[in-house]
Structure 1
């Protein structure tokens, strides 16, 4: 399915379906299309929202996890979303989802993390990369997936173009360094909503021990792994990811939306 982009009050986003809200947050090099199969599966009985995070063009002074959290808060307010929705985040989007939940506890009733940063990540970020070297960028983008062929030429071209823009590179570096500084290990116990962790068993960016550490530190977390899968399970193993998500939503639909 082709995702239809909408614009409102300066926000670009996808808004599909009707029902309980699923708010989806993409990663540092992510895009709205990363969640395409989740939208296809859940739009028939949920309202699926995906804001395009301004990782390439937000003010440099705000380029970081706190700035992205404020952006999400503004997006939620602009669309007038009701409280008690579910937030999903991949990679950096998971990090933003965690901090959003910590600072907006009454709004979030469930949290889903996949390949999330917030504890440890081995990324392109802080030493960003060789300008003009297409083969290097292709290799690093492929590193995100168990099957490097999932990294389409379109995706590689997009990242390559980013690396050749000084202004975009500065923001990417700033955001990546901010994510590395904002370790949440001492804060996770405050999140008491149900949490689903879906991890690629072959994740090389946030490896499986990171998932186990999230499961240990989050009071009400369940951890599920997908084999032959790296850092973006919703893209590489969409059927398995959606099955775990569907089961989690069903079994937690009456859980109280309370966070300390």
Structure 2
């Protein structure tokens, strides 16, 4: 998808469609292109704004470590630059962590919040050690070995076997991530706090989407917190990447949620 830029803004973004503002945030070693099969299904009804988060895609990739708060602040800067007062913000995986940080500090800028294959829980000690190892590995070896090893695990087992074009596309997007960006973001995820209370206390609608075969953010973690306005969906046969495994079903859940606001 073609990117745009704003002077003084370190991130580039896609801006397509008209209607209520729907901001879509991608996951780790992804880019706006993670949403390339979903946006065409939504842009007829919503204005889809899809940034490359800091360190990813065509955005700047300064040396890290980054913080999740920093990623969220970039999102705020993007909304300000576009003159958008309030938006629905949906985040996939790392994008969900970013959306939660945004909701914690700028709730007045939200119409609703959504987590797609994400969760409000922090890393445990073993998870933090893995983040450190990933950051060190990508700086030592580049991003390609990590993506080649990891990407098949982001799909449900059967999908990893049979969805070869989709898997190759996800890997290709990952290969374009600069090592500094991947390392900086890995360390940002390592330090994120528990934000379960943000969902519980948010007086806005919340959409939670999980894959029943997601080994990274399974339903019990994805649904670890909810409020009185929470809508939950489990996508059958999907792993961590329904954006490629089941884009039509994902887009249907998103559209239904936003249209009810």
Output the TM-score relative to the length of structure 2.
0.82
The alignment status of 1:170 with 2:183, answered yes or no, reads yes
* CA apart distance, 1:117: 3.7
For the structure 1 residues 110 and 162, does the alpha-carbon distance in structure 2 shift closer, same or farther, using more than 3 Å as the test? closer
The alignment status of 1:125 with 2:131, answered yes or no, reads yes
For the structure 1 residues 207 and 51, does the alpha-carbon distance in structure 2 shift closer, same or farther, using more than 3 Å as the test? same
Name which of structure 1's ranges 32-41 and 57-66 shifts more when overlaid on structure 2: 57-66
For the structure 1 residues 80 and 125, does the alpha-carbon distance in structure 2 shift closer, same or farther, using more than 3 Å as the test? same
Q: How does 1:48-197 map to 2 (within 5 A)?
A: 48-56=48-56, 57-60=60-63, 63-83=66-86, 85-120=87-122, 125-128=131-134, 129=137, 131=141, 137-146=147-156, 147-148=159-160, 149=164, 152-157=167-172, 159-160=174-175, 162=177, 165=179, 167-179=180-192, 182-197=193-208
* CA apart distance, 1:135: 6.3
For the structure 1 residues 207 and 126, does the alpha-carbon distance in structure 2 shift closer, same or farther, using more than 3 Å as the test? farther
* CA apart distance, 1:151: 5.2
Matched residue SS, 2:232: strand
Length, aligned pairs only: 243
* C-alpha separation in 2, matches of 1:172 and 1:25: 14
Structural RMSD (CA): 2.6
* CA apart distance, 1:188: 2.7
The match for 1:8 is 6
- On the 8 A contact 1:15/1:49 being kept in 2, the answer is yes
5+ residue gaps, structure 1: 254-260
Output the TM-score relative to the length of structure 1.
0.83
- On the 8 A contact 1:125/1:172 being kept in 2, the answer is no
5+ residue gaps, structure 2: none
Deviations 1:57-97 (A, max 9, x none): 454456010111111111111111132x2111100101111
* CA apart distance, 1:15: 0.5
- On the 8 A contact 1:142/1:151 being kept in 2, the answer is no
For the structure 1 residues 153 and 21, does the alpha-carbon distance in structure 2 shift closer, same or farther, using more than 3 Å as the test? same
* C-alpha separation in 1, matches of 2:245 and 2:133: 27
1:248 maps to which of 237, 249, 257? 257
